[in-house]
Amino acid sequence: MPSQYLGRFAPSPSGSLHFGSLVAALGSYLRARSVNGKWLLRIEDIDPPREVAGAADDIMRTLEAFGLYWDETALYQSQRIDAYEAQLEQLRLNNQAYYCQCTRKQIKAMGGVYDGRCFETRSAQGAIRVRNSAGVSQFNDMLKGQVNTDAHFAKEDFIIKRSDGLQAYQLAVVLDDAYQGITEVVRGSDLLEVTCRQLSLYQIFELSAPNWIHLPLACTKPGFKLSKQNSATAVDAKHPHESLQLALQFLNQKTVEYHTDISLMIEQAVKQFQLKDISTENEILIK
């Protein structure tokens, strides 16, 4: 383990914290605290059309209700736009990024993977793609072992700024994890494939990449994860004890003794935490 472990939880304020989000938050928290590390909170608020007013504060209060207290001040991605733009400008100056106006229909006609054709056209508008000189197609997950992705997908020049002018997730998450000094990312297995894209950016930017742990997703049926977009029910922050026990069971951890002070339950969960006991499956069905 690094001398100073730094983990994080990075929700988007598109709705209240649901059970799937609680699993990700709890898993990352227990991992960080079990190795005497820090646990940071980042609000990924760079997609205004999807954001819900008051959701960020609601998520933070819910985390506190579950005894999940973060270190340092929460970071808001919306405060980091200048850093993203500076990196984009540097990439363009180095001929490592270019504009693309291809539609989804056109990319589908290419076989579903963009073929880089816009690099030669030198357009001055559209989405911005990175010249993916790294093309990382595999990585080691601290829970799952070696993970491999499709080589064509891995080599694709992917979007790092959207055509509507909003910042793209891949660029922002890499720059922010590096900025915060994150040493290990613990998150859901829906992000397994894009980890390779993020690792490609780490190489292109010549940054040290963190370790990775991808937790199983809570799904109501195969391929249908609990999410804010699917109107998942918010966890009950006023009565958190039962949801905490269910989240521990989902992570295949021992349940803890009931206590009115939930912080004491979390403290016991940290002492009992065993990474190796978590399922390596990408998803687990729940009722």
Extract the annotated binding site for Zn(2+).
Answer: 100, 102, 114, 118
The Cα 80–Cα 257 span in angstroms is 41
Whether the CA torsion 108, 130, 199, 43 is positive or negative: it is negative
Q: Which residues are annotated as a binding site for ATP?
A: 228
Determine the distance from the C-alpha atom of residue 88 to the mean position of all C-alpha atoms in its chain, rounded to a whole number: 21
Q: Which residues are annotated as a binding site?
A: 8-12, 44, 100, 102, 114, 118, 169, 187, 228
Q: Which residues are annotated as a binding site for L-glutamate?
A: 8-12, 44, 169, 187
